Chains A and B, each alone.
Chain A
């Protein structure tokens, strides 16, 4: 997952712009990756996932990119809306990891009107 820190990284974007949230992982054996969105006062919700045999996957307004060479994952949100304001977590699990996900520390996305 992401490196541990005391402060939550924050990304501020203007409404309508595209957002890119990044995540670095360290485990070369990681083969399944997920992005979660957590709104204030709620539990994390699944957004999109990708397996290590892919480098890109698209959903509705979201795209996940995987670069296994540099162990980097990104989440792109097109035409960011106020409802996208939340904390975004990446998570990964290795082959044979028994579905035990390792989570990053999260990025706070703030959408400015």
Chain B
């Protein structure tokens, strides 16, 4: 089975801190994604990557950046955390095939105080 592992289940950070959320997948998937999930808003795409060192903005990239130095790892970076970035963050991966289903990690609940 595909496994998408997010390094932290819960994180508490202070406003202004730099925050790193790590995601690793073990099935050699080309595509990786970062979403945030908020009540009533569903899942919104922050950034995605189709290859190593490649990144593209999703629907809500402001305040975030990403890094993909290795195929299996996709990191989400909050340069200066703010309270409105308190959310559930979900990482996902898939093969680079048209209409392929996403495999999700268990999520990281981030609270910014």
Contacts and interface: CB of A to CB of B under 8 A. Distances in A.
Interface residues of B, number: 27
Given A6-B40, A43-B106, A44-B102, 11 more contacts: A5-B40, A32-B99, A41-B106, A42-B106, A49-B101, A51-B99, A89-B43, A91-B43, A98-B50, A99-B99, A103-B42
Contacts, number: 62
Interface string A10-43: 0000000000000000000001101010000111
B48 A100 contact: yes
Nearest to A42: B106
B25 interface: no
Interface in B85-108: 90, 92, 94, 96, 98-107
B4 interface: yes
A4 B40 contact: yes
B45 interface: yes
A80 interface: no
Nearest to A34: B101
A8 B99 contact: no
Contacts of A44: 43, 90, 102, 104
A63 B21 CA distance: 36
B12 interface: no
Most-contacted residue by chain A among B39, B90, B99 (CB, 10 A): B99
